[in-house]
A and B are shown apart, each in its own frame.
Chain A
């Protein structure tokens, strides 16, 4: 409190960096805040995100799987029904975790806790905030993916070392959804509007070739499903789980890379309009 301000302190130097007004290369401060806040938050909420896909796997894979028996895997080889749906459920869980973190959590922090308002009055720019929050969403997604992959292993659903790639691939999927989710949330003003997110997510979960192959649909419906991100996630993880890679694998990965880039542009632009208006 005893510091005295001198004349030479009162002339600031500006740096002309790219994105200078949006980004101060300090997303780690946002991440640090998130980790500290998690300590005091409810662990049960965290755990439930992991348990949910496991419950689906047990119910559908073991229960329904007993009726279904074996199905045709990505490479054409027969695999157990549980092994068929497990990677799909992992993709769903990556999506759910990322979307929850980047929509409901962000919605609350934006509109009620006024957290971002406080952050943006510091040296942080909107891009620091977006990157930090998305990283946290991905960290959570990576933890879920690791846990779920371990469960798959314990249930004997993993037959190839390639399956370890399920974890980074899940993070890629989560990144795509999180970067878009945060941008979309910035348009939301009320809880009723937030419900629209679930309205989109549930059918995507049920119909993205999660529980049965895409070929059951008429061609027109197939095209719609193939345009949606979850289908690409399901197919990508399904291929990885058995170690079968084709040209389509690259397309799936590319789909998410493009989604991430567009999502980050959208989110940063929106945060800028919302907070630096």
Chain B
């Protein structure tokens, strides 16, 4: 049975569209997510990622298209579908009137789960979220990272088969992010399908087996992080800074260096498979950037190429 788990789609969206009047938040997107995969939706703010997530959760209807979550249409069978989903919303919506442990137990009650199951489960999840010592604390006494971990712990109370994470680490410090990533890896190992939106490229590279890049409601590209980089970018990127005033002017004189060139307000990016020799070419031509950096291409470059703008704007 285990061998063919990955061949079965747990989410299947066909021509999914959500329109608010004239505006199309999600415009005719199709994708499949096999069981156990970690699937990312990448895109700038307002690209339609959260709307797509809401539709998967059955808390947002669709204008057109078909959606199948583990064999059911979430619009028709919201409660049954959500019984097997875990949801981490963009903004924490923990119950501030309840204590930390009670947040988990009460949330489990919403799924109709018995207390005999929930009490040990809550303790197990507090352990998982490294919050055992805060079990009796008030929610508003927790730090941002702790609240986020509690929200994730809460989303696991019903042993979900699919976990929806809407920008899970936004606003967290690096240490808290790494702790969270570690927890998400463990869930993936346990076979939970992860669907996450993010606008952090490193997060997407770390966590996603496969992702789609969404902009203005449409899918711009689809694939694994490495295949997307291979397809849409060169192996390395040379970053040059000439000072804000001069970047654009210098870009004109850099034509022909590397395979492709992108002039941003703060720097010039040269896409090439060999950054060091490109840099030699630049200095050989008598140009002296204030700073230069050769780095491996990342998803950020893919994103820039596809949408023509940086992610966090």
> Is the pair B59, A7 in contact by a Cβ cutoff of 8 Å?
no
What is the interface of chain B mostly: helix, strand, loop, or mixed?
Answer: loop
Q: Which residues of the other chain, B, contact A122 by a CB distance below 8 angstroms?
A: 82-83, 107, 110-111, 158
Name 28 A/B residue pairs within 8 A (Cβ), A-sorted.
A1-B124, A5-B161, A5-B192, A6-B1, A10-B8, A10-B35, A10-B71, A11-B71, A12-B80, A12-B81, A13-B80, A15-B77, A20-B77, A36-B102, A37-B97, A37-B98, A41-B97, A113-B93, A114-B93, A119-B110, A122-B107, A122-B158, A123-B79, A123-B111, A124-B79, A125-B79, A276-B60, A276-B78
Interface check B255, CB cutoff 8 A: no
> Is the pair B95, A5 in contact by a Cβ cutoff of 8 Å?
no
Interface check B89, CB cutoff 8 A: yes
Q: Which residues of the other chain, A, contact B107 by a CB distance below 8 angstroms?
A: 118, 122
Q: Which residues of the other chain, B, contact A5 by a CB distance below 8 angstroms?
A: 5, 35-36, 161, 190-192
The 9 closest A-B pairs by CB, nearest first: A37-B97, A122-B110, A114-B93, A5-B191, A29-B109, A24-B79, A14-B77, A121-B87, A118-B93
Measured between C-beta atoms, what is the minimum distance from B158 to chain A in Å?
A: 8
Q: Which residues of the other chain, B, contact A9 by a CB distance below 8 angstroms?
A: 161
Q: Which residues of the other chain, A, contact B85 by a CB distance below 8 angstroms?
A: 121
Please, what's the 1-or-0 string for A1-31, where 1 marks a CB less than 8 Å from any CB in chain B? Answer: 1111111111111110000110110100110
> Is the pair A14, B59 in contact by a Cβ cutoff of 8 Å?
no
Residues of B within 8 A of A (CB): 1-2, 4-5, 8, 10, 35-36, 57-61, 69-72, 75-85, 87, 89, 91, 93-99, 102, 106-107, 109-112, 124, 128, 156, 158-159, 161, 186-187, 190-192
With A4-B190, A12-B81: A32-B106 Cβ-Cβ less than 8 Å: yes
Interface check A189, CB cutoff 8 A: no
Closest to A121 in B: B87
Query: Beyond the given A5-B191, A5-B192, A33-B106, could you list 14 further A-B residue pairs with CB under 8 A, ordered by the A residue number?
Result: A1-B187, A5-B36, A6-B1, A7-B5, A12-B84, A14-B80, A15-B77, A23-B79, A26-B109, A121-B85, A122-B107, A122-B158, A123-B112, A125-B78
Closest to B127 in A: A1
Residues of A within 8 A of B (CB): 1-15, 20-21, 23-24, 26, 29-30, 32-33, 36-37, 40-41, 113-115, 117-125, 275-277
Q: Which residues of the other chain, A, contact B110 by a CB distance below 8 angstroms?
A: 26, 29-30, 33, 119, 122-124
> Is the pair A1, B96 in contact by a Cβ cutoff of 8 Å?
no
> Is the pair B95, A33 in contact by a Cβ cutoff of 8 Å?
yes
Q: Which residues of the other chain, A, contact B10 by a CB distance below 8 angstroms?
A: 10
CA distance in complex: A3, B186 (Å): 11
> Is the pair B106, A21 in contact by a Cβ cutoff of 8 Å?
no
Measured between C-beta atoms, what is the minimum distance from A189 to chain B in Å?
A: 17
Q: Which residues of the other chain, B, contact A113 by a CB distance below 8 angstroms?
A: 93, 95-97
Q: Which residues of the other chain, A, contact B192 by a CB distance below 8 angstroms?
A: 5
